Amino acid sequence: MNPGTLYVVATPIGNLGDMSARAVQILGQVDRIAAEDTRHSLPLLRHFGVNVPLTALHEHNEREQGPRLIEALLGGESIALISDAGTPLVSDPGYRLVRGARAQGITVVPVPGPCALTAALSAAGLPTDHFIFEGFLPAKAAARRARLQILSTEVRTLAFFESSHRIEASLQDMVDAFGATREAVLARELTKTFETIRGGELEQLRAWVAAQPDQRKGEFVLLVHGAETRVVDAEVETDRVLSLLLTELPVKQAAALAARITGAGRNPTYQRALALKRDAEG
Ligand code: SAM
């Protein structure tokens, strides 16, 4: 028995018109569709006349369900993987399944289509020759701020996914970490009725979102222009290195290592590490 094929199929991020003809064709011909949330995907599949058995594959069952799906593929079934919206594996489940399938020599075929990340990048007018995708920032404020501090000297365009309940806090933390005047673009509800793509300086965007409750609703991609130069100044660089090391090491070790990396004095670096630690805990 020849193994079946695993198709990784992108679905719309809000606008059904973005479903590709090839996606509909593949979804209609496979033996089974692995969906992040079967109840969520059912209306979409019915809309396109797809009536194929569904299996749930989400972050909580991927460890057990992945191997079962791989067994089915090895047994000759063809399977399509979809997520709730957009491209599977882009901040969505499927990584273990795809990796496991490839390790078994199973053919994995992408069926590309909508993706909030590329949609936002394509319309933002920020440099796209090099960019980094950070996915979702940490939910806890201290971890989020530490992450942003680490990213503050990144020269490539930065891309983040964000949800409605954290957009204001994240914008504020970005103003603090990247500076009020750093250029950014907020892409909200892409492809949907209330699609809004707004560019400006970070502080302007923060104030605009804070003033308009409607602009805090829905789904967001936040793009931030990269830093102009890699090392802004010695203090910023010391903070960046310390923030990174403090996520893994005790204060004393982090400070000693940071002083060696940056060439700054040991005592001021230690005092700064204590202050950063206090801020993070406060
Ligand atoms: N795999 C999906 C993709 O390819 O777009 C992304 C899934 S991720 C779990 C969901 C996040 O993507 C949302 O919180 C939001 O940040 C972003 N997103 C999804 N749809 C969006 C849309 N229509 N407009 C803006 N952002 C969107």
73-97 pLDDT, tens digit per residue, is 999 999 999 999 999 999 999 999 9
Q: Establish whether residue 173 lines the binding site of ligand 1, counting it when its CB lies within 6 angstroms of any ligand atom.
A: no
Ranking 16-25, 137-146, 223-232, 264-273 by mean pLDDT, the lowest is 223-232
Ligand 1 atom with the shortest distance to the CA of 83: 1
Picking from 129, 86, 120, 136, the residue whose alpha carbon sits closest to that of residue 197 is 120
Residue 241 contacts residue 262 (beta carbons within 8 Å)? yes
Closest residue CA from atom 25 of ligand 1: 220
Q: Establish whether residue 163 lines the binding site of ligand 1, counting it when its CB lies within 6 angstroms of any ligand atom.
A: yes
Q: Establish whether residue 93 lines the binding site of ligand 1, counting it when its CB lies within 6 angstroms of any ligand atom.
A: no
pTM more than 0.75: yes
Residue 145 contacts residue 239 (beta carbons within 8 Å)? no
d(CA 29, CA 50): 9
Residue 145 in this model has a pLDDT that exceeds 90: yes
Residue 73 contacts residue 3 (beta carbons within 8 Å)? yes
Phi, psi of 230 (to 5 degrees): -65, -50
For residue 255, being part of any structural domain is answered with yes
Residues 17 and 64 in one domain: yes
- What integer is the mean pLDDT of 45-68? 96
Contacts of 244 (CB under 8 A, 6+ apart): 146, 150
Total count of domains within the chain: 3
Residues 202 and 176 in one domain: yes
Residues 105 and 26 in one domain: yes
Q: Where are the beta strands (DSSP E) in 191-275?
A: 196-201, 219-224
For residue 229, being part of any structural domain is answered with no
Q: Establish whether residue 83 lines the binding site of ligand 1, counting it when its CB lies within 6 angstroms of any ligand atom.
A: yes
Closest residue CA from atom 8 of ligand 1: 91
For residue 42, being part of any structural domain is answered with yes
Structural domain ending residue among the three candidates 182, 205, 224: 224
